[in-house]
Structure 1
Amino acid sequence: MDSSGSSNVQYDRWNEDNIHMNVEASQPTARRIYNRVCVGRTGMVVKTAGAIAALVALYFVGYVTGYYVHRC
């Protein structure tokens, strides 16, 4: 194996390009919002809040429906 300077220069150039790459800006807006809201601890909180809101809405619809059905 011969250690030449040209391969090191090419590797350094490639490595420098990846270091300065802004991945966040290259993603579509919808994907950035999804990553921020639906992944990790925040995602767990949002999903839990959504499930509780759905259960409350279902309870409310059932209550109103039962009221009108049994109002005699």
Structure 2
Amino acid sequence: MQPPESSVHYSKWDDSSRDEVSMAAVSSTEEASCGRRIARKLCTGKLGKAMKVLGGVALFWVIFILGYVTGYYVHKCK
């Protein structure tokens, strides 16, 4: 019997001579649940919407500043 924190997936194709085995192990269920809880909190609800809006505004300003600086040096008079 395998421990609950590891999983093995075995897939055999009828047409192929190869067998595929993939293994995934989670170091700790507590770490995984903590990460999922933080991600769920930051990506859903009012806080998630606020994070997406702030991320969009920050991305806009980064692209704007890069475009401004690039345009300045491209169109600079010699």
TM-score, normalising length: structure 2: 0.56
- 3-state DSSP class of the match of 2:76? coil
Q: Which has the higher contact order (CA 8 A, sep 6+)?
A: 2
| Unmatched tracts of structure 2, length 5 or more | 1-29
Q: More strand by proportion, 1 or 2?
A: 2
**From 36, 39, 63, the counterpart of 2:44:** 39
Count of matched residue pairs: 48
Bigger Rg, structure 1 or 2: 1
Q: If each structure's helix is expressed as a fraction of its own residues, which one has the higher value? A: 1
**Residue matched to 2:35:** 30
Q: Which residue of 2 aligns with 1:18?
A: none
> What fraction of aligned residue pairs are identical, expressed as a percent?
40
Q: Which runs of 5+ in 1 are unaligned?
A: 1-24
